[in-house]
Amino acid sequence: MRREKIDVMKLVAVLSISAAGLALLTFLMSRQTDEVFASSKARTDAVALFDSKCAMCHGKDGRGTKFGKAKGAPDFTNSEWQKSHADEQIKSAVTNGRGKSMPAWKDKLSPEEIISLVGRVREFAMKQ
């Protein structure tokens, strides 16, 4: 009789631990899915933003259009260019402009949008 009672308690303990584990796993999985979804949406937005505001000079492929290159736009797919430019520098160039032909975007884009464009510029390096 006593033995039986201990077995039931063990069973209850094992079951509640598994239930808690399952709940935690479900929570972690749903969170991960949300994060992946959020970042892929952010990426889609950054691509659209780049294509609409920057591609006329930098090209949708980041290599620079004829028009942009004539004004001195760099090739973002060039690994040397990527290595020699820090994120801060890219952010500052997009925010405040650079030289005669690279416009400043601080009045037209939010800081978050500008940061997303730094990511977009970085992405061209991986496409070689």
Choose, by CB under 6 A, the member of 99, 107, 126, 128 that binds ligand HEC: 99
Stretch that binds ligand HEC, among 9-17, 18-26, 40-48, 55-63 (CB under 6 A): 55-63
The CA–CA distances, whole Å, from 51 to 7, 46, 84 equal 66, 8, 24
46, 116, 121, 124: which one contacts ligand HEC (CB under 6 A)? 121
Nearer to ligand HEC, 68 or 77 (CB): 68
95-114 burial, b at 16+ Cβ within 10 Å, e below that, comes to: beeeeeebeebeeebeeeeb
Please tell me what DSSP assigns to residue 127. Answer: G
Neighbouring C-beta atoms of residue 71, cutoff 10 Å: 13
Instruction: Work out how close the CB of 29 gets to ligand HEC at its nearest, in angstroms, rounded to a whole number.
Output: 35
Q: Considering only the stretches 9-17, 19-27, 30-38, 87-95, report the one whose residues sit in contact with ligand HEC under the rule CB under 6 A.
A: 87-95
- Whether residue 127 contacts residue 79, with contact meaning beta carbons closer than 8 Å, is answered with no
Residues forming contacts to ligand HEC in the complex (CB under 6 A) are 53-54, 56-58, 68, 71-74, 85, 89-90, 93-94, 98-99, 101-103, 105, 117, 121
